Structure 1
Amino acid sequence: MTAYNPALHRFGDVSVRLSVELGRTDMPLREVLALGEGSVVPLNRLTDELLDVTANGRIIAKGEVVTQDGRFALRIVSLAGDDTPGAPAADTGRAKPEVPPLDEAGRDQ
């Protein structure tokens, strides 16, 4: 766990919705209505791409899917804004992913 500013301790019990997006696709409604058991929906993300981790809709990190005790889990690979000059880069064996800039509502620009 990363250390944080002690002044932020009072916010430690605030709940946020943490989500991981596997991928997206656009489909005509007729194709959505035709989906059934066994249907396969191709997504826009490659299998070796890092996933977006969001807190209340804002991208906070990139990660990869792992399994832990028979459940899906997520390994955080990089944090958004973790590109401080002079900061040591963690050796993850991967190139550091680009975290897109966000607009005021927390959406990708």
Structure 2
Amino acid sequence: MKLPDNEHESARGGGSLSKDGSAGRRLDRQMLNHVEVEIEAVLGYAQSSIGALNELAKDSVLELDRALNEAIELKLNGKVIATGEIVSLDGKFAVRIVDIAG
């Protein structure tokens, strides 16, 4: 991308150059719309001793700290961004958003 030759010329994508020559452009949000991120759907948490984990086998049940009807957390980079409920969509698990973190 070619930057403007002087501080009065607009930089491509909005904004202008500051007196120190750095580009003071606003981030074009449209550019971010195509960035892929991974979201975690957290059903719940459990605590266990190493001994109890070593005894897990097929058909063992690990109890989580949430009720069946309780909202799950959707996390991005370890931070809760929303809560929702588990639903079925075309034979797969899906999440219906109940609340967006603010």
* Structures share fold, TM-score greater than 0.5: yes
SS of alignment partner, residue 34 of structure 2: coil
| CA–CA separation in structure 2 for the residues paired with 1:15 and 1:56 | 13
Q: CA RMSD in A?
A: 0.9
1:29 maps to a residue whose letter is I
The aligned counterpart of 2:66 is: 45
1:40 maps to a residue whose letter is V
The alignment of Structure 1 onto Structure 2 pairs a total of residues equal to 75
Which of 26, 41, 64 in structure 2 is aligned with 1:20? 41
| 1:42-80 per-position Cα deviation (integer Å, ceiling 9, x unaligned) | 000111110000112211000000001111111011100
Q: Tell me how far 1:9 sits from its aligned partner.
A: 1.3
| CA–CA separation in structure 2 for the residues paired with 1:71 and 1:77 | 19
The aligned counterpart of 1:30 is: 51
Corresponding position: 1:57 with 2:57: no
TM-score, normalised with respect to structure 2: 0.70
Q: State how 1:87-98 maps to structure 2 within 5 Å.
A: none
| CA–CA separation in structure 1 for the residues paired with 2:89 and 2:60 | 27
Structure 1: 4+ residue segments shifted above 2 A: none
| CA–CA separation in structure 1 for the residues paired with 2:89 and 2:64 | 24
SS of alignment partner, residue 67 of structure 1: strand
| CA–CA separation in structure 2 for the residues paired with 1:31 and 1:13 | 44
% identical aligned pairs: 35
SS of alignment partner, residue 31 of structure 1: helix
Corresponding position: 1:74 with 2:95: yes
Q: Mark the runs of 5 or more structure 1 residues left unpaired by the alignment.
A: 1-6, 82-109
The aligned counterpart of 1:3 is: none
